[in-house]
Structure 1
Amino acid sequence: MSWNVVIMILALIMALTLVGSIIAPEPKYAGVSAQAAKTEINLRFDQNGRNIVVGLVSLGWLWAFWTLGSFMVDSLLHPETTKAGPFTLTMGPLIVAATVLGPALGAVWLIWFRKPRPANAAPARTLPGWLQGMSDGLFGSVIEPMIDLIERLKWVALLALAIILSYRFADNIWGSFAYPFYMGAENGALGHTATEVAFASKMIGVVAIIAGIAGGGLLLKFMGRMPALVVAAALAAATNLLFADLANGATGMDAFLGFTHLEALFGAFGENQLRMARLTIAILGENLAVGFASVVYLAYLTSMINPKYAAVQAALLGSLTMLVGQLGRPWLGALIESDGFAYVFILTAGIGMIPVALSALEWWRQSRLPKTAAAATLAAE
């Protein structure tokens, strides 16, 4: 079975899942609280304003889906000329603007610029029944969770967004280049075999991630959410320097191994003993940091989510986490080809200091909250 067939099957499964989620019936009676919430929305935001926002957001999403679908079809029909890198670099920001920024701006417009209709005003013109039902459903599923986030966080939403976009960059960006670095022979790559990489990455690395997750839980327990967020971000950024050292000849790693004599544990690899010790220790450190950051970041993310809108807000914030890493990969790939892996690792470590600074700023902000708000924050931790 060719890759084209596999990709088409996966696309079909995703399409069926999407269709199923759309046609699944909503409960006809969801209780008094849901009805009260709907009444509150009707009083706060007039129907015309809601329909305008939903219409514009729908157009943006349709364009994004069409653009992505066209690219997928072109990649199947013309794989030699259709490349993901240039598409991501040029169209990625536009798709993000249409699918994420559009609903957010619509929510801002409704909150601050669209006044609610007076009680004695003439009834708003509504769409046909079935279309109005779809509009109300999309508003409740997409725009209302956005409104909740923006109203609760206010200007802090900008700081939270900056943390979300940048926090996992240092390790998310690394995924695409891991195996070219481990197994390649150019630009400072290490030239390991698949067996060696599997031992270090899939055996030792998995254990390290599990240990890192446990360590992240301990960080949260004994340090608190915000201090742990800063420490985990710093660790994630610093581990890029381990790989930069390997790409530059492993001077620092060799000094560490010489001091600890850990290379003796890799005697089974014979003449590759030192090389395997270098690789394994670097992957061990990186995966420990990934485990730390994953748990601590998840705790920070969930602290902003309203349980009433948990599904949409978690999906939104989680997808934004991966955004910068995805969009930045073509650019960093070009840098690797021109300047080598070592330079890119050092650059990534530097970029990783941005979430450290942002997390420290958020920690400082929360520390200056009134005592009642601070108590609520501590209770959440």
Structure 2
Amino acid sequence: MADAKSDTTRAENQKPGWRTVLRSLGQAKTAYMLLFGFAAGLPYALVLGTLYAWLSDSGEIDLETMGVFSLIGLAYAFKFLWSPALDRVDIPGLRRLGKRKQWIVTAQMIIGVALVSLSFIAPSNETIALFSLLAGLAAFASATQDVVIDAWRVDVADEVATIDILSTVYQMGYRIAALVGGALALFMAERTDWPTVYLTMGGIMLLVGISGLWAPDTDASATLDADDHDLADPHGLRVTGQIVPRVRAWALAAVGVLWGWALVTVGIFMVRSLTSNPDARPDSVEFISNMGPLIVIATVVVPALIAAWLVRVQRGGQHVIPATFDGSEPTTQTGKTMSPYAATSSMDRAMDHLYRALVLPLTDLVGRLGWAIIIVIALVLTYRITDAIWGTFAYPFYLGELEYTKDEVAVASKFFGVGALILGLAVGGYMLTAIGRMLTLTLGAFLAAITNLLYADLAIGGVRVQAVSDTIGFTRLVSALGGDERLATLMMAIAGENIAVGIAGAAFVAYLSSIVSRGYSAVQYALLSSLTLLVGTLGRGALGQMIEERGYFDVFILTTLIGMFAVVLCIIEWVRQARSGRAQNAPPPDPEAAPAE
């Protein structure tokens, strides 16, 4: 009887439609996911957007100095560089909060303190150093928070609060925060002052951090037991079938040197930019264009090749600990001969810890996906490239090319556009539940690509978009509210694109969350999501040049075609998953649930 009841409950949980969605929304995990999404989006909007408005209003900070603040965004682009520490290092005194929650709460409190501190400093040439330091601290803590929240989402997902629903809710919270930290912050500043705005926003972040103390998390006690069950080999790396320590040491050294070089390179660049005189400051766009690909090669491509080699030799039985030895007996107190592979020093145990933090996330991903890793990376690189590249040129297109006013753009993009985006996320979340992840991912890619044609039409007069707006009565509605047909045309195009981007965004985050392992979710998700951000940045220079030479119409046709390439990759990945027999809505694998073979 109990088994029958369990089967009935499981079947109800798997039914597509609004019943499943509503059941998921009633979970505490889902409510905290909305809160954490808001906490992730708020500092991003305040530090990389609204802060420039405050600096402009001060009248004492020149544009060149403001340009230095763009370096703060590097924390988000290269956040994967310190993600291994977030996956394996515990904060003293806070470990009992939970594996992920200890970092989430700490990061949110740091962000709140940094924003509150900014409210007591008037930006000027004398205070700009301290001002930039606090803004940089907030950005670093925000990027750190993003890494851990992404991992938390993967870790806590279950059959009710599914990864698809959690991914959608997260983005809804993020977009709401963008509206609060953008439009609402500007509204408040107009009626009060900037210190009041940042004091208020900092207070909100502190409240979120305090609320996070009660959020569900991975079982801290289970994590403690897993880490401490065998002091000789706490990571299970010195048993039969595992790579011998000597080979692991060489692999760790190679990956460590590459990641260390990337960290030092980015660090030196930021220090030079913030401390040198204005004439000697390096160009941030040039740095990302020139060094960005090298950093990706050093931290992703080469380590992935090393991981692939490790997987290959282990599966082939080469360079592995033979069955006659077992490193779990480090002493001879029982009369046994000590294994030559045992961890006999703190250096050995430190190497095991670093190997598990830095190399195993890569070997796990490559080992599970095999050659399909190429398809996955290609999909990650192309899926969001159309809107990632286009976003930089949106305002020049609206204000310069189409000659809309700032008020019109604010109404169409910030208010109406955000509403359309949230609607798209809601539709995407329902589609994930009703028709499945891969079909939603593929349709999202197609819609995100094809809606670029709406802007292509605007670039040559907007006749077709206006005709649709007139036909469905949207033009009359906008006119009744005080607008005109030109504003209705812009709002129609933005609505179409944002709904499509919302659907695609919900599907893409759910897809990324589904292919990472729970044990290594922080590193794996940070790597994949950072690739998406970096590629969009690298392509903007070429796109800007094309706009200058060919105009916006040709650019929108090109971005549509690029988006179609992503559609093809989605179909290939869909077929691959179907052939592998992977359940689309199954929770991500947990490599720590069973010992390695």
**Structure 1 length-normalised TM:** 0.85
User: How many pairs align?
Assistant: 367
Query: 1:31 aligns to what?
Result: 225
* Cα distance change on mapping 1:126 and 1:340 into 2, 3 Å: farther
1:268 to partner: Cα distance = 6.1
Match of 1:104 in 2: 304
Q: Mind listing any 5+ residue stretches in structure 1 that lack a counterpart? A: none
Q: Which amino acid aligns with 1:116?
A: V
SS at match of 2:392: helix
Matched residues in 1 for 2:257 and 2:454: separation?
Answer: 46
Of the candidates 505, 508, 511, which is equivalent to residue 294 of structure 1?
A: 505
**Within 1, Cα distance between the matches of 2:141 and 2:473?**
55
Residue 249 and residue 16 in structure 1: after superposition, are their counterparts in 2 closer, same or farther (change >3 A)?
Answer: closer
2:134 counterpart of 1:9: yes
Q: Determine if the alignment matches structure 1 residue 57 to structure 2 residue 57.
A: no
Candidates 370, 391, 409, aligned match of 1:197: 409
Residue 41 of structure 1 is matched in structure 2 by 237
2:533 — aligned with what? Answer: 322
Q: Is the contact between residue 241 and residue 349 of structure 1 (CA under 8 Å) also seen in structure 2? A: yes
Give how far 1:233 is off: 0.3
The separation in 1 between residues aligned to 2:565 and 2:509, in whole angstroms, is: 18
- The structural deviation recorded for 1:274 is 2.1
2:478 to 256, 263, 266: 266
TM-score (norm 2): 0.56
Displacement after TM superposition at 1:217 (Å):
1.4
Contact 2:452 2:557 in 1 (8 A): yes
* 1:341 pairs with one of 549, 552, 575: 552
SS at match of 2:451: helix
Distance 2:379 2:238 in 1: 33
Structure 1 vs Structure 2 CA RMSD: 3.2
1:269 deviates by 7.8
Shift in Å, 1:144: 0.9
Per-residue deviation, 1:15: 6.5
CA contact (8 A) 1:48 1:125 kept: no
Write the letter of the residue equivalent to 1:42. Answer: R
The one-letter amino acid of 2:379's match is I
Structure 1 counterpart of 2:486, which letter?
R
Q: In structure 2, how many angstroms separate the alpha carbons of the residues matched to 1:139 and 1:344?
A: 45
Give the conservation status (yes or no) of the 8 Å contact 1:236–1:293.
yes
Separation of aligned partners in 2, 1:109 and 1:127: 27
Q: Which moved more, 1:230-239 or 1:6-15?
A: 6-15
Q: Which residue, 348, 358, 362 being the options, matches 1:146? A: 362
CA 1:84–1:151: 2 relative to 1, 3 Å? same
Amino acid at match of 2:476: A
Which of the two has greater helix per residue?
1
**Shift in Å, 1:102:** 3.1
Matched, 1:71 2:264: no
Question: CA offset at residue 214 of structure 1?
Answer: 0.8
Aligned AA (2:236): E
1:265–1:69 CA distance, 2 compared to 1 (3 A): same
Q: Unaligned stretches of 5+ in structure 2?
A: 1-54, 56-60, 69-127, 148-219, 326-338, 589-597
Shifted more, 349-358 versus 106-115: the winner is 106-115
Conserved in 2, the CA contact under 8 Å of 1:88 and 1:330? no
1:85 pairs with 2:285:
yes
How far apart are residue 347 of structure 1 and its match? 0.7
Q: Distance in 1 between matches of 2:542 and 2:367?
A: 35
What is the aligned-residue identity percentage? Answer: 40
2: distance between equivalents of 1:261 and 1:14?
44
Deviation for aligned residue 1:103 = 2.5
Contact residue 469 and residue 492 of structure 2 kept, 8 A: no
- Using the TM superposition, give the Cα deviation of residue 32 of structure 1 relative to its aligned residue in structure 2, in angstroms: 4.5
Deviation of residue 378 (structure 1)? 5.5
Aligned residue number for residue 172 of structure 1 = 388
Deviations 1:184-213 (A, max 9, x none): x2xxx2222222111111111111111101
